[in-house]
Amino acid sequence: MPFIKATIDLGAIKRNYRTISEFVGNSTVTSAVVKNNAYGMGAEKVSMALYDVGCRDFWVAYLAEALTIREVLPNDAKIYYLQGFQKSDMPVIKETKIIPVINSLHEFITIKGNDIEFVLFVDTGFSRLGLRRTDIDEVLPCLKDENIAYVISHLACSDDKNHPMNSAQKKAFDNILAKIRSVIDVKAGLSATGGALFGKEYAYDIVRIGSFLHDIQLNSPLSAESVLTLETQVLQKYILPAGSTVGYSATYTAPHDIKLAVISIGHGDGFRRHLGNKGFIHFYGEEKIYAAPIIGNVSMDLTTCDVTEIPDELTEPGMTATVLSKDYRVKDMARDADLLSYEILIGLQLKPDRCDLIYRG
């Protein structure tokens, strides 16, 4: 059995959904982004939990992901996949009532006239996927006969409320939307979590919420609950003499005798190498939490930390070493690693063959 234990708090994810739903208000649909296996948390479990708390609209990246959660969600759940639509998808999406997002003129030409509900994605300055403004002019005459669930776009700089790109994209979106609404009455959505937190002006008819559900949204006026606890074990502890080096490339030299603990986690488990000589492992006493600095490079399956200042009874072999918790969250680890919270969370190998995976709440 693996030494690593991951506990995912579905109750916290539900409460995070309620918190942002109440902020957005009843006039806007609060939908959930569960792509990439719900940010590594388990798309089936997370989707079912969110359905239980009232969510009915779900976004994934690919059709295969949509089919996976369609198997566990009731028929009234709407499932959208954001990319990769092709002609061969049409029989299965008709049968399963999964809704593709159409991102290009080619995809629009492929789907039009087939009596399939879809979302139209328009580019407003992100310069990634999406119909361009010239494409909009070309598709306008064809829209009145199509079943379009939403027209959507995506903000490039929603991590900074004051960035001028946000208002520029909103203006572009409003202009495109006015053109389309001159032909058909259609609902709209511009924002994922960051934009949704700007308030009603950016909410439109639907918002797509991912990062807030999983407690990795930065610069938020709302408080999300921690959803993930990650624990492992101490394998070995010993006195490292002054002048000794630690780990691959000998990036750490002990300035004096220290107590070194070796714990069972490494980059093979998704624990990032960026945390070498930067991050922390935590040990819980009855009344105090102790932070042990990571020393040396993170190895594939092992990490070393300095436990000199931590009571011996907490750091003996077999004792619990806490990697993530409500006291040291993904956002904190991302800060120490100088990475995005998304990179930390999605990179973790939270799979039954890699760890003892527990859901609660």
Q: Which residues are catalytic?
A: 35, 248
Q: DSSP letter string over 289-334?
A: EEEEEB-S---SS-EEEE-TTS-HHHHSTT-EEEEEBTTB-HHHHH
Helix (H, G, I), strand (E, B) or coil at 170: helix
Judge whether 33 and 67 are in contact, CB under 8 Å.
no
Burial of 165 (0-12, 13-18, 19+ CB in 10 A): middle
- Alpha carbons 189 and 100: distance in angstroms, whole number: 15
Q: How many CA atoms lie within 13 A of 304 on its CB side?
A: 21
User: How far, in Å, are 280, 303, 340 from residue 325 at the CA level?
Assistant: 12, 18, 18
Burial of 332 (0-12, 13-18, 19+ CB in 10 A): middle
